Chain A
Amino acid sequence: MNRLPSWVILTLTLAFLIGPFLIIIAAALSAGNSLAFPPQGLSLKWFIKVFTIESFRASFGVSMFLAVGGTLTALALGIPASYAMTRYRVPGAEAVRLIVSSPIIVPGIIVGLALLRYLVLPTGIGMLTALFLAHTALVLPYAVRVVSASMENLRTDMEEAALILGCTRFQAVTKVVLPNIRGGILAAFILGFVTSFNQVPVSLFLSGPGIRTLPIDMIAYMEINYDPSVAALSALLAFLSIGIILAAERFLGFSKYV
């Protein structure tokens, strides 16, 4: 193809993919009181207002807790499993792999409903606990996949050398394996964090008044309000995700692991 059409195609596709995001930022900068593009005057007031909305602060806290805590728990479960599956001949390794990666296949809304009906209602555990377990399960496949990939890339003779030199197996893992795959672990953490933070369907049925994740709170807010604060919040969250990814890419070559 000659230059012009492919240039046109790229511009159109990128405008379609990125344009709406730019429009959100512009709408969020509006000085007016309702959502509009082009913005009516320029101001940062909606970016500031977002921080004063009580429910956003609470749900941001819930989402951060789930994203950080759930991902760390998934890593605590996933790293030993990855180590076992890449270094040992585990009986039924295929079954383990399938079970652990199953949360990626099942549509989130089903998980949320199933946990509500067969875990929360019968046992009376709190919503926050249920959300925590659901988000941990959601992130577990990513943790196992990314960590396993970096363990597979790590040469096993380093561990063997450590063992021969008198390390216990636990020492070999903590002193040789883990430091060498820390990039992979961080990549798994970031991927898990972003997945957990942005996900909606899993938390849908597990959110009630009082405890809500941020994305669900945003949806609830915009059903009642038509002001640019959700636009401002969306823009802030987008910058946060992009910032995290860029930093990871810069320092770790994040894309190697994903």
Chain B
Amino acid sequence: MFEDKRTGLALALPAAVFAAALFLLPVGILLSEGFRNADGWSLAPYVEFFASGRNRVVFLRTLKLAALVAGVSAVIGYATAFAIVSLPPASRGRVFALVTLPLMISPVARTYAWLVILGRTGFVNQVLVGSGLLDTPLRLLFTETAVFIGLLQLFLPLMIISLVSAMENMPRDAVPAARVLGANWFQVFARVILPLTREGLVIGGTLVFTGSMTAYITPAILGGAKVLMLETLLYQRVTVANDFASASVIAMILMVMAFSANLLLKRLATARRAR
């Protein structure tokens, strides 16, 4: 609306300079460290990082858990989202609010709850031992299962929100029409619901996958030193070993994951607008 370019730039500049100087610059230097060693530019830090079997285990575990959380939250997400959109409008809003409520609660508090539930004297073990099903309490904390459960609870709402908004954009009579024409529920899902909500699935999946991949609190509290993931490994490399080479390699891996996920989301968003 205003043509005066200089005023516009002057107004936008403080924010841009702030973010560039205090954010992009330090992060850029840190990431570039992963390509240097004593002799100058090199890929050696990457080769060294992946040469260690322990690092490879952590890397693959992070990918595996993130993929598993994304996959399981998609299954639960579809069931829940479908149940939510088939509710009458009045209760739909209320249930949707309950689903999004956990997002407002501190991740520390949400993760902490699983200590109470999964601990040695926690709720689950009390039920199992108390009812005589087991003699000794199960070891539930500091396992991949505990981290998986914690991450799933943390990120499931994001998947449900994405799928609910995708389903609300679905033509209302698509599902009943398919049913009337004789499709069973599996066919309805594969041929009607899935194609019509694919964007929501990709958006939710990317959010859950990158969220799980870059989560710190949940693996730190529920996994401890036994179940390291990339973020907890990064923290450990710096604070315990003072090993900045591995730290910047891990930073780069996390960064590439986060950035490609973001790019994918942006692609989808522009594709949607163009249509």
**Do the beta carbons of B255 and A107 come within 8 Å of each other?**
yes
- Whether B19 pairs with A23 at a CB distance below 8 angstroms is no
State the main secondary structure of chain A at its contact with B.
helix
Complex-state Cα separation, A117 to B23, whole angstroms: 12
From known contacts A20-B153, A118-B30, infer whether A80 and B12 are also in contact, taking CB-CB under 8 Å.
Answer: yes
Main secondary structure of the interface of B (DSSP, over half): helix
Task: Count residues of chain B with CB under 8 A from any CB of chain A.
Answer: 80
Q: Check if A103 is an interface residue, CB within 8 A of chain B.
A: yes
| B65 located at the interface, meaning its Cβ lies under 8 Å from any Cβ of chain A in the complex | no
- Counting residue pairs across A and B whose Cβ atoms lie within 8 Å, the total is 258
Q: Which residue of the partner chain, among B107, B116, B216, contacts A37 with CB atoms under 8 Å?
A: B116
**Which residues from chain A contact B14 at a C-beta distance below 8 Å?**
77, 80-81
**Interface contact A24-B109, CB-CB below 8 Å:** yes
* Contact call A37/B122, Cβ cutoff below 8 A: yes
Q: Which residues of B contact A231 (CB under 8 A)?
A: 112, 116
State whether the Cβ of A65 lies closer than 8 Å to any Cβ in chain B.
no
Partner of B113 from A24, A87, A96 at Cβ < 8 Å: A24
Q: Is the CB of B84 within 8 A of A88?
A: no
Contact among B26, B104, B153 for A194, CB-based, below 8 A: B104
A1 lies within 8 A of B11 (CB): no
Binding stretch for chain A, among B48-56, B93-101, B196-204, B267-275: B93-101
Q: Which residues of B contact A14 (CB under 8 A)?
A: 95, 98-99
From the candidates A81, A136, A140, A241, name the one contacting B12 in the complex (CB within 8 A): A81
Report the bound CA distance from A148 to B5 in whole Å. Answer: 18
Q: Does A52 contact B (CB under 8 A)?
A: no
Q: Is B36 an interface residue (CB 8 A)?
A: no
Q: Which one of B19, B99, B244 lies within 8 Å of A140 (CB-CB)?
A: B19
Once the chains bind, are A117 and B26 in contact (CB under 8 Å)? yes
Q: A38-B123, A80-B15, A117-B244 are in contact. List 9 more A-B contacts (CB 8 A).
A: A18-B98, A20-B153, A91-B5, A109-B235, A117-B26, A137-B23, A235-B109, A238-B104, A241-B105
